[in-house]
Amino acid sequence: MKINFLTLIFLCLICFNVTTLFAKKDTTIVFCNKTLHKVKKKYAPYYIKVFKNKAGQFGVIQYTRDNYLYMRGSFLDEKLNIKQGVFEYYYDKEIIREKGRYEKNGKEGLWLGFAKDGMIISKDHYESNEREGVSLIFAKNGTLISSGHYKNNKKNKLWECFTENGILTSKGEYLKGNRSGSWVFYNDTGSMTNKSNYIDGKLSGEELKWYKDTLVLIGQYELGEKVGYWQSWYNNRNMNYAGSYKLGKREGEWKFYFKSGNLAAKEVYVNGVATDAKWFDEDAKPVTAIEPYELSPEFPGGSSEMAMHIMNNFEYPELAREMGEQGTVWVEFLVYSDGEIRDIKVIVSVSSSIDDEVIRIIKLMPNWRPGLDHNRNSPIRYTIPIKCRLG
């Protein structure tokens, strides 16, 4: 049977069209949530296109309802449970956010995080879905702000943190995820503020603090408990207080001083309880001791109003939201005798962007009611936890 040239072309076109039709049928569109679980179209914030790729895997491209690319990757199974190969995640408008490789659902090798301008802001290495080796975090200007190592998904060996200007803020080692040995902390001008020692993440050994290069505190810890003789000075070098601790509780005679150097209070403690107290004014005349001897500073209206302030002003950082970062930030600050807040610093971090947001909302706080510290309205250090959770 003879087939002329035009017939051959016609048959080829038919074959091409049939192949194209089958290719379209091989691509499935599914409406879903962020984690690819199928939901009704009208409720779905995302949709995916699923297809077989050249490796025989199930390729997936995920889009937002606004048709912006959100994720690109592949799976070993039709139910899309086992990630395999290179994955890319995107900000809005198809700007890459994170890139790395999965091996049977576990992160493997180098993973990179990106800012919206395309700058690399994080580098982490994984083995069997656990961080292993060097971990680096960068500011949006490209400056290194954190460097360290992981072993079995836990911080290990030397870690250093820096400001966006490259100034060292902390330096020390981890062992199996806990601080270990000597740690040094600096302010944003590079001056040393604290020198602490740790065993298994607990303060143990000599504790030193400075204010603008002036030593203002010396004491001892034993597995997280204050022990032995403690001394503190004002920044003018006059004595602030002196006394001893036993298993974290005051013991024996304690003396407290005004900033002028005059004695403000002499108190005797047994197992942390004051059994005798004598207070004096600036002219050394006796005054009546008022209980409690220590009264913590207070946010105007109390803790419930402070919680409302935090809730109303906290704006979850976009980078932290996209990276899935959450946790509890412990922040410390001084409340001065006029109620003003100063010397804010994070002592337990979640991430640089969340830490910065916590500091921002603390700075927005109104003046507090000052505390009372053994007959003195001296600055009192206050620590609060702020829970940051993704909704």
Per-10-residue mean pLDDT, the chain, length 391: 41 35 63 93 94 93 94 96 97 90 97 92 96 94 94 96 92 96 92 95 96 93 97 94 97 96 98 96 95 92 95 90 86 92 90 91 95 88 92 71
β-strand partners of 100: 87
Q: Which of 75, 80, 113 is nearest to 95 (CA)?
A: 113
- pLDDT at 307 (0 to 100): 95
* Residue whose tokens read 């620590």: 383
Q: Find the helix packing angle between 352-363 and 303-313, rounded to 10°.
A: 120
Q: Which tens digit of pLDDT belongs to each residue from 194-248?
A: 999 999 999 999 999 998 889 999 999 999 999 999 999 998 999 999 999 999 9
- pLDDT at 322 (0 to 100): 72
Domain residue extents for the chain: 1-82, 224-289, 303-388
Neighbours of 292 (CB within 10 A): 8
DSSP assigned state of 371: P
Report which secondary-structure segment, H or E, holds 356: helix 352-363
Does the domain made of 303-388 have the CATH classification 3.60.15.10? no
In sequence order, the 6+-apart residues with CB closer than 8 A to the CB of 333 are: 341, 342, 343, 344, 345, 362, 381, 382
- pLDDT at 347 (0 to 100): 86
